Amino acid sequence: MSREFKALLVEQPEKKVFTRSIVTRSVADLPEGELLVKVHYSSLNFKDALSAVGNPGVTRNFPHTPGIDAAGEVIECSDGSFQPGEKVIVTSYDLGMETDGGFGQMIRVPSQWALPLPEGLSLKESMMLGTAGLTAALSVQELVDNGVKPEDGPVLVTGATGGVGSLSLAILAKAGYQVTAVTGKLEETAYLEGLGAERVISRETLMQGSERPMLKPTWAGVVDCVGGEMLSTAIKSTRNWGVVTCCGLVGSPELPVNVFPFILRGVRLIGIDSAECPAAPRVKVWQKLATEWKLDNLASMVDEVTLDGLEEKIQKMLKGGLKRRALVNLLES
């Protein structure tokens, strides 16, 4: 096996400017770890876009290969947890942050970061889902575990055309929930309806009256990917004993809300952290994504690119203008 491979490398040649290029790297340059994996597919997440432009909240040490997602086959495993040739998914923990990630054809990681690919999913399908799918599934699982049932009323998904949003919408629809999708791209209404949205509304429609302390109780549950005013508006319009999950900050990291929804309606706000999520819930939701929540329309939710096509997707994602998740094919890069 060749010990050289292609990777996207982010560098900071002069102290301020970050550059991105496709280079040949060597396995010897990879960090320590028990597990060496030949990456077949990865996918682009918001954190990757931030890492690629040198955001210090994600990555501080350069040169660096981003990519918080990777799926591929085991080449070597020094502690015997996996056999050569076994198919694995590696997401989150420190992958792609300070540890060279899935935008390279090889990764070396601690073996406990990997999961065996669940039966029923291909490596390609697992990365069509990626961390966005894991996060969406963890969010939906929180609604289920906290008693939100399909017959309780509509569930709101914010940032609906985004990775986490579109997958949350599709999983909720598959699980029988009536989903209202809120989007800044109303021209994508037909796409969102195709994923299972019963209603598609604009950000402005959702935000009407958002300055008021409480709003009409509407949502049985909310999967929020945006944060800020949109999350606070969603909380204020959640029904009694409704459940709101919070995973993202594309709108804002602030949460300008009062206590009324919590003390007068018993609304529950639940944080989602896929990166450090313990193994048991992680395995449970991947299993569901391979079976009862397996999505037939996954291929329509992604655009496949090689490493060369990533730059354009990164720039669009940073501007909130990416329309489909980017699946990264490392085999053909």
Ligand X SMILES: NC(=O)c1ccc[n+]([C@@H]2O[C@H](COP(=O)([O-])OP(=O)(O)OC[C@H]3O[C@@H](n4cnc5c(N)ncnc54)[C@H](OP(=O)(O)O)[C@@H]3O)[C@@H](O)[C@H]2O)c1
Task: Please report, as ranges, the residues that interact with ligand X according to CB under 6 A.
Answer: 45-47, 131-132, 135, 159-165, 183-185, 203, 225-226, 230, 247-251, 272-275, 317, 320, 322
- Shorter beta-carbon distance to ligand X: residue 74 or 200: 200
We find the least distance from the C-beta atom of residue 1 to ligand X, in angstroms, to be 32
Q: How many Å apart are CA 221 and CA 146, to the nearest integer?
A: 10
CA distances from 331 to 38, 74, 88, 225 (A): 9, 14, 15, 31
Q: How many Å apart are CA 159 and CA 19, to the nearest integer?
A: 29
We find the least distance from the C-beta atom of residue 217 to ligand X, in angstroms, to be 23
State both tokens at 95: 């992958």
- Strands of 155-157's sheet in order across: 197-202, 179-183, 155-157, 219-224, 238-246, 268-271
We find the least distance from the C-beta atom of residue 5 to ligand X, in angstroms, to be 25
Residue of closest CB approach to ligand X: 162
- Shorter beta-carbon distance to ligand X: residue 39 or 223: 223
We find the least distance from the C-beta atom of residue 28 to ligand X, in angstroms, to be 31
We find the least distance from the C-beta atom of residue 309 to ligand X, in angstroms, to be 16
Residues 172/220, Cβ–Cβ less than 8 Å: no
- Shorter beta-carbon distance to ligand X: residue 165 or 196: 165
The residue ranges of DSSP E strands in 168-218, in sequence order, are 179-183, 197-202
Q: How many Å apart are CA 285 and CA 118, to the nearest integer?
A: 10
Three-state SS for 215? coil
- Shorter beta-carbon distance to ligand X: residue 33 or 133: 133
Three-state SS for 330? coil
- Shorter beta-carbon distance to ligand X: residue 99 or 131: 131
